[in-house]
Amino acid sequence: MFSLYSTRVGRARDSQLRETDFGYFAMPLISSRKPKRQSRPLLWSYCELIMFSAAEIKACRRLVELALEEDLGTSGDLTSQAVIAREQPGRAAFVARTRGILAGLPAVSMVLGAVDPQLLFEPKLEDGNSLVAGAEIAYVAGRMRSILAAERIALNFLQHLSGISTQTRLYVDAVAGLTCQILDTRKTLPGWRLLEKYAVRQGGGHNHRLGLQDGILIKDNHLAALGGGPPALQAAIAKGLAAIVHPMILEIEVDSLDQLDIVLPCRPDIILLDNMTPEELREAVVQRDRLAPQVLLEASGGITLETVRTVAECGVNRISVGALTHSARALDIALDYMN
């Protein structure tokens, strides 16, 4: 028997209800108003588990709207309308076909609610949990037509985000025991950045800046625009420091130890060491420790799962890896229908 209030989501009934375009979702208490009482079934998000922030909900809403428009159009699921009775009930389980790290349950909840607020969604696991082949992730119950209409879109979200969290965990595990963080980059799909960075966190990684508006990161092309060479480095740092407003950070990219010698005395918050060899990275750490120990060093550029531990062992504080998002394979997850 499917129940809206499973042992994992039952406490959500005491949370404030907020109405959205996708029905009602359990949200943290945001006002003193009494929650609306509804007689119909509700699709609840699992607020007691890890969930999207307000910004992530907004981003996901836009993506869900686009997905529904391109997959259902104005006519809906013609096949199900032709062969499935309107009120025929159904139930199904989201099941992992392989090992991985789960991410994207809030997105699945939003997809199901957008298609049919009467659907019942019962997560059995939390985002960030480890998956094994055959693990039942969540159940959905309600009108079979609605489940079929939502299936592909819900799986697209869940497979894509779980693929990123799984990829991230591989990198995090590769540097286990070392004081080095694994970070993502801005190499994300347009419109997906907030959700992909959410998935990175579920895999144990850390987020770099969300966008150009979040801080000052002076890169090689900025230096080229200023004419290149030591004068460009010095001018860029001076301009960057003058523009910093707390709590913004200043980061600058260097690709040689000579550039590092120029930048270190200026004490930016972070220095990005781009495409350096392990020998160069170790020397950079020695120089940093001697001249400006408070400056964080970040390695980046062509770092793979096979090389990431070697890089971390050089003593850098952070490693940024574009592959966490731009090269992650979708995790194999299916929706199995139940009799």
Active-site choice (13, 36, 99, 152): 152
Q: Counting every residue, how long is the chain?
A: 339
Active-site choice (253, 288, 298, 318): 253
Identify whether 184 is a catalytic site residue.
no
Whole-angstrom Cα distance, residue 207 to residue 186? Answer: 10
Q: Is the peptide bond before 247 cis (omega within 30 degrees of 0)?
A: yes
Identify whether 288 is a catalytic site residue.
no
Identify whether 309 is a catalytic site residue.
no
Identify whether 187 is a catalytic site residue.
yes
Active-site choice (186, 219, 267, 282): 219
Identify whether 8 is a catalytic site residue.
no
Alpha-carbon distances, residue 123 vs 11, 56, 190 (angstroms): 13, 19, 28
Active-site choice (77, 122, 274, 298): 274
First to last CA, the chain: 12
Q: Which of 218, 21, 205, 2 is nearest to 103 (CA)?
A: 205
Active-site choice (18, 186, 187, 309): 187
Active site residues: 152, 187, 219, 253, 274
